[in-house]
Amino acid sequence: MTSGSAHRRADARDAALAHAVREGLLGPRSPLIGLLDVDGVLDAVDALNEAFAGPATVQHTFAAKACGLVPVLRLLADAGMGCEVASPGELEQALAAGFPYDRIVFDSPAKTVEELEFALAHGIAINLDNFQELARVDRLLAGREPAGPIGLRVNPQVGAGAIGAMSTATATSKFGVALRDPGAVEAMTEAFAARPWLNRLHAHVGSQGCPLPLIARGVGVAHDLAERINERLGRTRITGLDIGGGLPVNFDDEDDRPTYADYVAELRAAAPGLLDGRYTLVTEFGRSLLAKSGTVATLVEYTKSAGGRQIAVTHAGAQVATRTVFMPDSWPLRVGIFDASGRPKQGPTQVVDIAGPCCFAGDLTAIGRELPVVEPGDVVALYDTGAYYFSSHFSYNSLPRPAVYGYRTGSDGQVRLASVRAAQSVREVVEESGLAQVDALVELRAG
């Protein structure tokens, strides 16, 4: 059964799309845009806070990789979120959006000396990936105390979900200290015993394709390790647990499932003491906070048939829906068809492929879908695309990045839009591709 909030979200989305068409924001001169439901995002933040309410102190951070657009990050900062970053670019985006240093968590398996020095000096929480990085921090600190919390990431090695590339707790994952490897637990215990400033454990099992029991089991392994180390050392050395994010998203229909409340119930079952208040908790959710609130909308340029299959050629393909195009079974998207006025199409259906503009045969965002008859000038909406699809652009064929708009819809049906990111111009694409150095290789050849 579709919830009331899901109905509201669907109605608001349709109203926003129609408004974008009327205002000329989506049309022949701008055939591809992104739309983000601001109220939907804030509802997700509220649901997250409500699910984790209790005796434990919890800092919820947003995984910047899911949508590294500064206005989106600013909205989340204003809503009380922290920010998890995994690169210098994401760190600068978080700072530009207004996240204070003490609400930023820095994760990356390849942090440089310069990046570590900056984080250590400014009180940014750091999750170290391995013992070599831990030794590097020893040298950088040179006996002084860090300005912020420092944790060590563990790989609980609890197995993979349905999408291998999204599973980070496999036996051979590149992330963290593999706990089942010989001597790992003893080495972890010694690391904490020797460093009073080392006070957190970090674990992340994976995201899309990972079922809740698997994710909770990985968190439970980290919690058990914290208990074991604190007991061995005879004092509470580990005071915080960063349990990552990874709540999977339902791409099959409008409903939010599983919910954050579902996840917390699994955590309580897997680690009964996790939420009792003895540990400060950090979360790093990304996709689940934004996905259902985003829509990629694109104009249908042409329709055709090949081998008895109808094909609609649009301007949304691998450049915005990279994962869907290259792994369609793992990342399927729901599709809506609207007429040239932005109204949902009704009537007869047909089986159709929705194609993108990229110059390779597999550039399809939907394959063999039964949809209302599609015609040139119609609008195709790709739903549940608020995470990754807006900000993880694939520059194939030098296609420009589309404009993104945030929207709110009042009880009277009136839509208000705000520009989140302007469309990239073709000139900017050319400049980005080295225009200022146009003669560099010719001059090198001549010299």
Residues serving a catalytic function are: 359
User: Per the structure block, which two tokens stand in for 166?
Assistant: 């999204």
Which residues are CB-neighbours of 7 under 8 A, at least 6 positions away?
A: 254
**Minimal CA–CA distance to 36: which of 393, 391, 425, 396?**
391
User: Per the structure block, which two tokens stand in for 54?
Assistant: 């209790």
**Minimal CA–CA distance to 66: which of 215, 332, 331, 289?**
289
**For residue 402, with 0-12 CB atoms within 10 Å meaning exposed, 13-18 middle and 19 or more buried, which class applies?**
buried
Separation between Cα atoms, residue 365 and residue 389, nearest integer Å: 12
Which residues are CB-neighbours of 51 under 8 A, at least 6 positions away?
A: 259, 260, 261, 263, 264
- Check: CB of residue 234 under 8 Å from CB of residue 227: no
Q: Could you tell me the CA-to-CA distances from 203 to 67, 158, 171, 178, 421 in Å, in that order? A: 22, 11, 14, 11, 33
User: Per the structure block, which two tokens stand in for 442?
Assistant: 């010719």
Separation between Cα atoms, residue 195 and residue 142, nearest integer Å: 12
Q: Is 185 helix (H, G, I), strand (E, B) or coil?
A: helix
End-to-end CA distance of the chain: 71
- Check: CB of residue 308 under 8 Å from CB of residue 353: no
Whose tokens are 């290789």? That residue is 441
CA 212-327-163 angle, 5° bins: 25
